[in-house]
Amino acid sequence: MMLGQTLVEFVPDGQVVGRGTDFFPGSDWTPYQDLLDDEGRMVANVGSFLIRTAGHVVLVDLGLGPGGALLDNLEALGVAPSNVDFVVLTHLHRDHVGWTGAFPRAQHLVDRREWDYWCAHPGGVGPDPDRVLTPMARRVASLEEVPRGIRPIATPGHTPGHTSLLISDPDTADRILILGDLLHTRAQFAEPTWRFRSDADPGQAIRRRVDLLARYRDGRTILAGGHFSGDAFGESENENESESKNESESESEKNPVSETTCQPSITGQ
Ligand SMILES: [Zn+2]
C-alpha cells in the first residue's frame, strides 16, 4: 500500500488458529461468521509490517521466528536481512519477537516500560530471555529513535508498554495506523469491549481501544492489524469527523521515554 512515497506492506510469517471464544472469552461471534473459517475458527495472521521510506527500511514486529516464512517472504519482496535499518516492536509477546537476531544492522526500538517489564518477568507469553532478550539488549533503543514518518502512540493494556504506530508521509494527508494487538480481529471494530485472553490489564486495553477508534476513524486513516484474518489493512472509516484533532495531540501521545540504557537491566533477572 502506497502512502505518498512510503510503501507499507504486511509480510506474513505464519498463522495462529483457534476458536474465537478461546481468544475472547465470553464473546458472541454470531454476527461475525464471515470472519471465521469453514470450521468456525479464527485464523489470526502473524508477521511484520514492512515500511520502505525514501531513506529507511523498517520492520514492525518480528513474528514467531524460525520455522515461519518471514525471511522468505521478505526476500520475495527484494529485502535482505542486512537491508533492514530499524525494527520497531509494538510489544514483546513471543509472537512479535520471534526473528530477533535475524537483522544484523537493525536497531531495535521498543517502549522503555515494555522492555523493563519483560526484563523483570521473562518467559510465559513474553520473550525468551536467552533467545530474545539477551541478543536484543545489544541493539535495543527507545522509541524516541524512530525515523520520521513513524509516530509511536502509547496504547498500554495488552501489555504494560504496548505501542501503536501512526505512519505518515509528507506527500499525502492519508495515514496508516498500525494497531499492534490493540485489535486482533475486525470484529473488535464493532465489539471494542471484547477482552483478549492475555491482556495484562483488560480494562485499560478497552479504554485505549475505544479512544483510538474514536480518534482515528477519521476518513483518512487506514487501521491495520497484523493479526487480522486475510488483509491486514482495514477500511478507512468515515465516522467521528468531529474527533479529528490528531495533530494537536501529538505531544501528549508521544512516548515519554527519552533515555535508553536498557542493557544493564537484563542480566541476572
Ligand atoms: Zn500478538
Adjacent-strand bridge partners of 233: 224
What distance in angstroms lies between residue 181's CA and the mean position of ligand 1's atoms? 5
pLDDT tens-digit series, residues 210-229: 999 999 999 999 999 999 99
Dist CA 16 CA 218 (whole Å): 31
What distance in angstroms lies between residue 200's CA and the mean position of ligand 1's atoms? 13
In this structure, which residues have their CB less than 5 angstroms from ion ligand 1? 95, 181
pLDDT tens-digit series, residues 18-72: 999 999 999 999 999 999 999 999 999 999 999 999 899 999 999 999 999 999 9
Dist CA 99 CA 75 (whole Å): 14
Cβ 71 vs Cβ 81: under 8 Å: yes
Q: What is the pLDDT of residue 122?
A: 86
What distance in angstroms lies between residue 46's CA and the mean position of ligand 1's atoms? 7
Cβ 119 vs Cβ 269: under 8 Å: yes
Adjacent-strand bridge partners of 16: 44
What distance in angstroms lies between residue 94's CA and the mean position of ligand 1's atoms? 8
Which of 126, 134, 227, 128 has its CA nearest to residue 186?
A: 227
Q: What is the pLDDT of residue 226?
A: 98
264 CB-near residues (< 8 Å, 6+ apart): none
What distance in angstroms lies between residue 158's CA and the mean position of ligand 1's atoms? 9
Q: What is the pLDDT of residue 250?
A: 41
DSSP state of 57: E
State the amino acid at position 52 in one-letter form. Answer: R
Q: What is the largest CA-CA distance in the chain?
A: 50
CA 127 to chain centre: 15
What distance in angstroms lies between residue 41's CA and the mean position of ligand 1's atoms? 17
Dist CA 128 CA 97 (whole Å): 9
Dist CA 252 CA 154 (whole Å): 9
What distance in angstroms lies between residue 52's CA and the mean position of ligand 1's atoms? 23
Which of 9, 68, 45, 20 has its CA nearest to residue 229?
A: 45
What distance in angstroms lies between residue 96's CA and the mean position of ligand 1's atoms? 6
Kindly list the averaged pLDDT for each block of 10 residues, start to end, along the chain of length 269: 97 97 96 94 97 96 98 98 98 97 97 96 91 94 95 98 98 97 96 96 97 95 96 61 39 36 34
The top-level CATH class assigned to 2-244 is alpha beta
What distance in angstroms lies between residue 16's CA and the mean position of ligand 1's atoms? 10
